[in-house]
Amino acid sequence: MSSNKVIVSTTNLSIGYHSKSHHNTIAENLNLSLESGKLIALVGANGIGKSTLLRTLTAIQKPLEGAIFLKEKNIHEYNSVELAQNLSLVLTEKLPPSNLTVFELIALGRQPYTNWLGKLSEDDYKKINNAITLTHVEHLIHKKHYEISDGQLQIVLIARALAQDTPLIILDEPTTHLDLPHKVSVFKLLKKLSKETNKCILFSTHDIDLAIQLSDEMIVMTEVTVVQDQPCNLITKGVFNKLFKDNAISFDGEKGKFVIN
Amino acid sequence: MANVSLGQVNIPLKEVFKSLFGGNVSRETWDYIIINFRLPKAITAILVGIGLSISGLLMQTLFRNPLAGPYVLGLSSGSSLGVAFVILGAGVLPAVASQFLLSSYGIILASCLGSLMVLLLILIVSQRLRDTMSILIVGLMFSSFTSAIVSIFTYFSSAEQLQKYTFWSMGSIGNLSWQNIALLTISILIGLFISLLTLKPLDALLLGENYAKSMGLNIKKTRYLILFATSILAGSITAFAGPIAFIGLAVPHLAKLIFKTSNHKTLFFGTLLIGAIIMLFCDTVSQMPGFEFTLPINAITSIIGAPVVIWLIVRKKSI
């Protein structure tokens, strides 16, 4: 296993929205550091600003203050193709209707590398096939993307991100709408990928129990703070108890899961 | 060839070949008809079919909407507005300006600008409305809005202007001189060339704009290219041939159905081919042999196109 290097770091990052009269700051002074080979989960209650943080980290939205460095270069200094060669996404949105086959969908991940007509080179095919093998979707590649189940589609979308061959993959709630076995298989796949490919994988999720068991690090967003640490340390510090304001839910540190009082 | 051969005057297929490839034709009138009427018409049909179909293909992917097309989204009405403005409004303008505007160049320009304007408006609205249905409804609204303005124009214009505009709006591919055909060919070629540049971005857009962006696509640039290409294609065609319905909507679907792919490189050539064939077919139907008259091409494309679309929707339930 190669050593873990820092892929993304933020310095005094403040996130939120600009509006005409005032800044609406969602979180301030974030100093996060995401390393290669690690699976990092982002958790927090609904509406706490997970999406805003992800949007800021993926350069869709500008930070209010501070900076984000992707491989030691400010993320806003990348042009769109360079950024696409370093950062790939898996989103929650529904795909528009089309006749794309699974193979074609995964192959689209090669767009940042192909010429103006999008012709695939031998190297591109190698990367695509590698992504297919890693995610075990060989049996699906000739099907249309609307013919496969939601769980399979999620894995295919992950394969597409893999084919994009970036050191950083960010996934927005990859396990919503999936049942427990599929959630677990997606998590396990992400874990395996972070180890085998030495990529840095960041994902947001509401499945905190699973994230505690499977991720290397977690970023926990509460109204007061944003903490990044290993799951067991977070449990000892009692961070999860502050996650939800609701008194009916509390975190049982020994069992490692939430209980209803 | 069959298209050239059929018409009010029946010319045997063999003679058509002779005429086209420099042989001697048994009757001089036939030669005249072929060179000055049938051939220009066939070429126009091909150009119109290609241009409208490709612009439909681009729009369907850009708007993520299977029902998008130059006619449905009001582009043709936009062109009509531009042309109406020029033909019917020319009297108000100084003589030099109206002279220029009434030339083919002026009409092309007005028509392109008209369709570009509608396309821009629809694009702005579609940024706010994510729902594809609402975009269609907005397109319909634009159509009725522009036709309302056109009718206001007609109210204030002379009978001669009105006649000119009415003839134009009925849609005809038969009245083009060779010079106009050259002009149309150039416009279509420019439009097609720009479309070629958008094939890869269009593939990326199949996953939606956010994914496309994450794969390094410059959305703004792509959007402008597509807008530009579709306005040139739809605008110049509408300028010369009048608003022609359904070709832009139905042909890309046929191509998708026949080639069973979403890959825009395949679809581009498929759409091109099918567009040309269908338009030639419609034109042949419109000038059926044995009839004294030639039907308006717009009626034929609607009669063929509308059922195709209905059949598509019923068959696939969600396209």
Q: Which of A99, A115, A157 to mutate: most B Cβ within 10 Å?
A: A99
Contact A173, A180 (CB under 8 A): no
Q: Which of B67, B135, B214 to mutate: most A Cβ within 10 Å?
A: B214
Structure tokens at B212: 């496309």
CB atoms under 10 Å from CB of A109, counted, come to: 27
* Beta-strand relationship, A217-221 and A39-44: parallel
- Give residue-wise pLDDT tens across range B205-234: 999 888 999 999 988 888 888 888 888 898
- Give residue-wise pLDDT tens across range A76-130: 999 999 999 999 999 988 888 888 999 999 999 999 999 988 889 999 999 999 9
Instruction: Find the CB nearest A89 among B203, B204, B214.
Output: B214
Q: Do B265 and A84 lie within an 8 Å CB cutoff?
A: no
Encoded amino acid at A143, one letter: K
The CA distance from A166 to A9, in Å, is 16
Instruction: Indicate the range of A94-98, A211-215, B199-203, B264-268 predicted with least confidence.
Output: A94-98
Please list every residue in chain A whose beta carbon sits closer than 8 Å to the beta carbon of residue B199: 117-118
Burial class of residue B66 in the structure, from the number of CB atoms within 10 Å of its CB (0-12 exposed, 13-18 middle, 19+ buried)? buried
pTM of the model: 0.84
Contact B111, B82 (CB under 8 A): yes
Please list every residue in chain A whose beta carbon sits closer than 8 Å to the beta carbon of residue B262: 98-100, 104
- Give residue-wise pLDDT tens across range A64-77: 999 999 999 999 99
Instruction: Find the CB nearest A108 among B204, B213, B318.
Output: B204
The CA distance from B59 to A102, in Å, is 24
**From the CA of A65, how many Å to the nearest CA of chain B?**
23
The residue among A142, A112, A10 whose CA lies nearest residue A64 is A10
Give the residue-averaged pLDDT of B134-150: 79
**From the CA of A253, how many Å to the nearest CA of chain B?**
38
Q: Do A98 and B262 lie within an 8 Å CB cutoff?
A: yes
Give the residue on A whose Cα is nearest the Cα of B210: A91
**Residue B86 confidence (pLDDT):** 79
Give the residue-averaged pLDDT of B110-117: 82
Q: Do A118 and B203 lie within an 8 Å CB cutoff?
A: yes
CB atoms under 10 Å from CB of B131, counted, come to: 10
DSSP state at residue B67? T
More confident residue, B140 or B204: B204
Please list every residue in chain A whose beta carbon sits closer than 8 Å to the beta carbon of residue B260: 99
DSSP assignment string, A29-83: EE--EEETT-EEEEEE-TTSSHHHHHHHHTTSS--SEEEEEETTEEGGGS-HHHH
Q: Is 80 exceeded by the pLDDT of residue B29?
A: no
**Residue A154 confidence (pLDDT):** 93
Q: Per-residue confidence at B319, pLDDT binned at 50, 70, 90?
A: very low
**From the CA of B75, how many Å to the nearest CA of chain A?**
23
Asked if A154 is an interface residue toward chain B (Cβ–Cβ < 8 A), one would say: no
Asked if A105 is an interface residue toward chain B (Cβ–Cβ < 8 A), one would say: yes
**From the CA of B216, how many Å to the nearest CA of chain A?**
4
The CA distance from B158 to B141, in Å, is 28
**Residue B198 confidence (pLDDT):** 93
Interface of B with A (CB under 8 A): 64, 66, 197, 199-200, 203-204, 206-208, 210-211, 213-218, 256, 260-263, 265, 318-319
Please list every residue in chain B whose beta carbon sits closer than 8 Å to the beta carbon of residue A93: 208, 210
Please list every residue in chain A whose beta carbon sits closer than 8 Å to the beta carbon of residue B200: 111, 114, 116-118
Q: Do B207 and A108 lie within an 8 Å CB cutoff?
A: yes
Q: Per-residue confidence at A156, pLDDT binned at 50, 70, 90?
A: very high
Q: Do A105 and B207 lie within an 8 Å CB cutoff?
A: yes
**From the CA of B76, how many Å to the nearest CA of chain A?**
26
Tell me, what's the ipTM?
Answer: 0.90
Q: Per-residue confidence at B83, pLDDT binned at 50, 70, 90?
A: confident
Residues in CB range of A21: below 8 A, 6 or more apart:
none
**Residue A96 confidence (pLDDT):** 84
Q: Do B215 and A111 lie within an 8 Å CB cutoff?
A: yes
Instruction: Find the CB nearest B260 among A60, A99, A164.
Output: A99
Asked if A86 is an interface residue toward chain B (Cβ–Cβ < 8 A), one would say: no
Q: Per-residue confidence at A1, pLDDT binned at 50, 70, 90?
A: very low
Give the residue-averaged pLDDT of B39-58: 90
Give the residue on A whose Cα is nearest the Cα of B220: A80
Q: Do B210 and A114 lie within an 8 Å CB cutoff?
A: no
Asked if A169 is an interface residue toward chain B (Cβ–Cβ < 8 A), one would say: no
